[in-house]
């Protein structure tokens, strides 16, 4: 347990310290009833969400607004397919991130124009 001071308010938190590859990871929860395993699992889920946001921004897909539900559902389906395809390519090519995948496409395949030639798109 640890106490954090926010202004004049003191908050008690449950602090879980993990060491991974010589790095210290401090995970915390304000729900003092959570087990260490529950805190770890919750932070893993939150980290996946953060990675999704990062990948979405990298792929330039963060700006979209649709007034009709059907169009939004179609966009979300396409959105998830593109992000998952990009992540699969990252894994298949032994790359570290979507950013590295985009650099790979730019350098090795000639960027968007190179891809268009490969797939005979105009």
Rounded to whole angstroms, the Cα distance separating 70 from 109 reads: 35
Average pLDDT over residues 38-66: 79
Write down the pLDDT at residue 63: 62
Write down the pLDDT at residue 94: 92
% the chain with pLDDT above 90: 11
Write down the pLDDT at residue 91: 92
Read off the DSSP letter of residue 17.
E
Q: Locate tokens 């730019």: which residue?
A: 106
Q: Kindly indicate the confidence band of residue 79, based on its pLDDT and cuts at 50, 70 and 90.
A: confident
Write down the pLDDT at residue 121: 57
Nearest partner of 82 among 62, 111, 104, 106, judged by Cα: 62
* Across 32-41, 62-71, 102-111, least confident range: 62-71
Backbone angles phi, psi at 61, to 5 degrees: -105, 10
The answer to whether the beta carbons of residues 115 and 109 sit under 8 Å apart is yes
The dihedral formed by the CA atoms of 75, 80, 82 and 87, expressed in degrees to the nearest 10: 160
Residue 60's region, left for phi above 0, alpha for psi from -120 to 50, else beta, is: left
Which is higher by pLDDT, 81 or 58? Answer: 81
Kindly report, residue by residue over 21-35, the tens digit of the pLDDT: 888 988 889 889 989
């Amino acid at each position: 347990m640890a106490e954090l001071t926010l202004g004049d308010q003191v908050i008690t938190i449950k602090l879980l310290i993990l060491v991974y590859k010589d790095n210290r990871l401090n995970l915390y929860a304000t729900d003092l009833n959570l087990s260490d395993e529950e805190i770890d699992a919750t932070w893993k889920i939150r980290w996946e969400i953060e990675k999704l946001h990062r990948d979405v921004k990298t792929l330039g897909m963060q700006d979209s607004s649709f007034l009709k539900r059907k169009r939004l559902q179609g966009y979300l389906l396409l959105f998830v397919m593109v992000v998952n395809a990009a992540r699969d390519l990252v894994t298949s090519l032994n790359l570290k991130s979507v950013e590295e995948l985009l650099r790979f496409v730019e350098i090795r395949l000639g960027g968007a124009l190179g891809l268009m030639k490969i797939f005979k798109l105009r």
